Amino acid sequence: MDLTVLSTNLRRVRAGRKLSQADVAEQAGLSREGYRRIEEGIVEPRVESLRRVASALGVKADDLLVPVRQLRSVRFRAQKKMTSREDLLANVARWLDDYSELEGLLDRREPFQLAALARTLGGEKNRDIVGAAQRAREALGLDQHELIRDICGLLEDHGVKVFTPSVASEGFFGLSVGEGDGGPAVVVNRWDRISVERWIFTAAHELGHLLLHLDAFDVAQAEEDETQEAEANLFATHFLMPEDLFEKEWAEARGLGLVERVFKIKRIFRVSWKTVVYRIASRSPDSAKIWPQFYSAYKRSTGRPLRGVEEPQGLDPQEFSASASTPVARAAEEPEHLSPCDFVEDRLLRLVKEGVDRGEISIGRAAEILDVDLKTMRSVAASWLE
């Protein structure tokens, strides 16, 4: 047993769970001093003690004994300090390793089909961000009047892996991983207090970083760069709502009041009301007045103020489900709901099914890759149809 690996994993997982040493000791039935000596690598725990500690932390005992690959080519910025940052990165690394292993077993590696565009955009000075969004759509086979109905499938079909953990943090929406670390990949926080519309926008936002800011992919950098964030936001807005189509739909809705007009556009493009208002404000000479005007109009029409995290009439979580076995989550309120079925990353599921069908992986290994229990995995497998 490598006590250094065990110690590192215990510290990381405990911090990610926001537990104290006393909390873990109590739940594991150990003295606080006894647990401290295990976590600091002073003593080797008995098998039963390790099992109880793992149970208290909500992980498998074997996972505490395996070293975690350190990701380097990562763009991970959050609005607030996250105690779970290292634990999340470890989970992303494991997920990428499992994904890559399965691709290799099945000879199903999908090349990043936007790699050439990323190199071109990365070398340009004074980039045209709106033009970059148009070029990305063209590279993905989308014309300028085509709506994006399945952003996860679109990204996965062009070599971008999509991971959707649920992280209890209102300051973290997503991150991206470069090709050097098993990507490209986008990670979207699928926490139920964040709207489905925000999940979709985050996926497009992180794609923007992969295309525009590869030189800034450094896991050691945790502070947000306001310029790069603004560029990724602008990219995502025009990627999801191409200019000509937005202008057409906005003009056709001109007979509606401001709130109804914004909500109609958000439903058409499957984006949040904030994305639509941001777009309107960016094209108006009186941009500073648009936001208070919208808030006032919303209060007049509903009789109550609109909170910043609210998404009235938002998508339902069923429009964006992380896997076939994931239960429906409570979505943040977004006016005019989308659902989790609007955001389904299913390529890994297809690879798992193929791996089981071909005998390359067992049902048990499939459960590990999808992070579900064996009973759930057997139920999923029993429901598979050709």
pLDDT of amino acid 325: 37
For residue 180, give the DSSP letter. G
pLDDT classification of 337: cutoffs 50, 70, 90: low
Domains along the chain with CATH numbers: 3-65 (1.10.260.40), 74-241 (no CATH), 347-382 (no CATH)
Phi, psi of 204 (to 5 degrees): -70, -40
Query: Which position has the higher pLDDT, 339 or 257?
Result: 257
In this model, does residue 81 exceed pLDDT 70?
Answer: no
Query: Which residues make beta-bridge pairs with 187?
Result: 163, 175
Q: What is the mean pLDDT of the chain?
A: 87
pLDDT of amino acid 84: 80
Q: How many Cβ atoms are within 10 Å of 18's Cβ, its own excluded?
A: 10
In this model, does residue 20 exceed pLDDT 70?
Answer: yes
What is the model's pTM? 0.83
Tell me what the mean pLDDT of segment 62-66 comes to: 87
Minimal CA–CA distance to 325: which of 340, 306, 335, 339? 340
In this model, does residue 205 exceed pLDDT 90?
Answer: yes
pLDDT in tens, 107-161: 999 999 999 999 999 888 888 999 999 999 999 999 888 999 899 999 999 999 9
Give the strand order in the sheet containing 185-188. 74-75, 174-177, 185-188, 161-163
Task: Give, in order, the Cα–Cα distances in Å from 278 to each of 193, 264, 301.
Answer: 21, 15, 20
pLDDT of amino acid 340: 61
Q: Are 329 and 166 in contact (CB under 8 A)?
A: yes
| Alpha-helical runs (H) found in the chain | 3-16, 21-28, 32-39, 47-57, 85-106, 115-122, 129-139, 151-156, 196-212, 226-240, 243-252, 258-269, 273-282, 287-302, 347-357, 363-370, 374-382
Minimal CA–CA distance to 185: which of 91, 299, 120? 91
Q: Are 93 and 71 in contact (CB under 8 A)?
A: yes
Q: Are 338 and 200 in contact (CB under 8 A)?
A: yes
Q: Are 163 and 132 in contact (CB under 8 A)?
A: no
pLDDT in tens, 261-280: 999 999 999 999 999 999 99
Tell me what the mean pLDDT of segment 281-309 comes to: 86
Residue 185, helix vs strand vs coil = strand
Pairing of strands 161-163, 185-188: parallel
Tell me what the mean pLDDT of segment 214-231 comes to: 87
Query: Which position has the higher pLDDT, 49 or 384?
Result: 49
